[in-house]
Amino acid sequence: MKKKNEVNDLAEEYDFSRGVRGKYAKRYAQGTNIVLIEPDVAKYFPDQESINNALRSLIAIIEKQGKHAL
């Protein structure tokens, strides 16, 4: 809700008439798990699938050694 003296600094061409309030709120509230990969690592693991496969392999090694926490 706007206050009386609030200035509308959005450009006129922005049209939010068909916007849905809170559309992504539930997903946002669940949090995110974004990890930034350094460029030298990204060279070998260019996408999400390759990173997850590598980490799953590492998990298997850790579990095989009986170490569940790093």
| Per-residue model confidence as pLDDT tens digits over 29-66 | 888 788 889 999 999 999 999 999 999 999 999 999 98
Residue 4 lies in a domain: no
Does residue 27 lie in a domain region? Answer: no
* In-domain check, residue 1: no
| pLDDT of the residue at 11 | 80
More reliable by pLDDT, 50 or 70: 50
Domain carrying residue 57 = 38-70
Q: Looking at the domain assignment, is residue 67 inside a domain? A: yes
Q: Give a yes or no: residue 52 inside a domain.
A: yes
* CA atoms of 57 and 63, how far apart (whole Å): 10
Residue 59 domain-assigned?
A: yes
In a domain, 25, yes or no: no
Look at residue 18 and tell me if it is in a domain.
no
Q: Rounded to two decimals, what is the model's pTM?
A: 0.51
Return the closest-CA partner of residue 33 out of 46, 52, 17, 19. 52
Distance CA 4, CA 61 (A): 62
Q: Which of 43, 68, 47 is nearest to 58 (CA)?
A: 68
**What is the reported pLDDT for 6?**
64
Kindly state the average pLDDT of the residues 20-35: 86
Alpha helices in 1-70 (DSSP H): 25-29, 39-42, 48-64
